[in-house]
Amino acid sequence: GNADLRKKAVGEKAVEYVKDGMVLGLGSGSTVYWMLKKLGERVNEGLTIKGVPSSLRTEGWANEFGVPLVTLSEARRLDLAIDGADEVDPDFNLTKGGGGSLLREKLVNNAANRLIIVVDESKLVQRLGAFPLPVEIVPFGWENTAAKIAKLQCLPKLRKKDNEIFVTNNGNYIVDCEFSEITDPVGLHQSLKMILGVVETGLFIDMADLVLVGEEDGVRVLEK
Ligand code: DER
């Protein structure tokens, strides 16, 4: 459909920001799929780069497309990370984690000098929160952790996949938290991180440097 064409266009556009010799952060999700496919074509044409995958799914796509990989332990610092998002607000704060990779995505993106977000125009919002906020939690006694999260005026729902509890690449669970609206993303992120049993939140605050938006008639570049 049209959304997929817009994801393909914006994913491919991001590859224009990749320079020879860069060490990259490789995000996760269906928009990043198109970025990886294009990146593999450029590598095949002689581009010299290496990438740190932010999920096993991204690792598989990178191998399929011939994108050379390194671990974050080897790379330490990255020149540029390219990732998707579920929501982007006017301050470039993000909701992420729809694909369940938020912890490794945040670790990879945090290690990068520059972060480019690639989204279909439907992801742009005035306020975060319409998309249930993914929060990664420790499985041990998860019900107690979820109950503490609920006290922040939300409804945390344990993520399942094919009727099984979804387990992240890090062996943790995810609760998707339905807030009426998120008026203070910074404060909410801090409150969540203070809760015993919470590993990481899908709130990516003050991380994105550039947002590429796939629109009907092309790609719009938003700079903060
Ligand atoms: O899970 C994630 O954070 C992904 O980046 C996701 O938010 C973007 O998914 P999409 O590109 O498939 O819409």
Per-residue pLDDT in tens (0 to 9) along the chain, 224 residues: 799 999 999 999 999 999 999 999 999 999 999 999 999 999 999 999 999 999 999 999 999 999 999 999 999 999 999 999 999 999 999 999 999 999 999 999 999 999 999 999 999 999 999 999 999 999 999 999 999 999 999 999 999 999 999 999 999 999 999 998 899 999 999 999 999 999 999 999 999 999 999 999 999 999 98
Q: According to the annotation, is 86 in a ligand binding site?
A: yes
SS3 of 40-84: the string is: HHHHHCCCCCEEEECCHHHHHHHHHHCCCECCHHHHCCECEEEEC
Atom of ligand 1 nearest to the CA of 86: 7
Q: According to the annotation, is 21 in a ligand binding site?
A: no
Q: Which residues line ligand 1 (CB under 6 A)?
A: 27-31, 83-86, 96-99, 101-102, 105
pLDDT at 212: 98
Does the structure's ipTM exceed the value 0.95? yes
pLDDT at 180: 84
Q: According to the annotation, is 29 in a ligand binding site?
A: yes
Cβ atoms of residues 109 and 84 within 8 Å: no
Contacts of 113 (CB under 8 A, 6+ apart): 77, 78, 79, 80
Specify the pTM: 0.98
Please give the distance, rounded to the nearest whole angstrom, from the Cα atom of residue 5 to the centre of ligand 1.
Answer: 16
In total, the chain counts a number of residues equal to: 224
Atom of ligand 1 nearest to the CA of 100: 1
pLDDT at 125: 97
pLDDT at 217: 92
pLDDT at 181: 87
pLDDT at 5: 95
Is 164 designated active site?
Answer: no
Please give the distance, rounded to the nearest whole angstrom, from the Cα atom of residue 35 to the centre of ligand 1.
Answer: 13
Burial of residue 154 (number of CB atoms within 10 Å: 0-12, 13-18, 19+):
buried
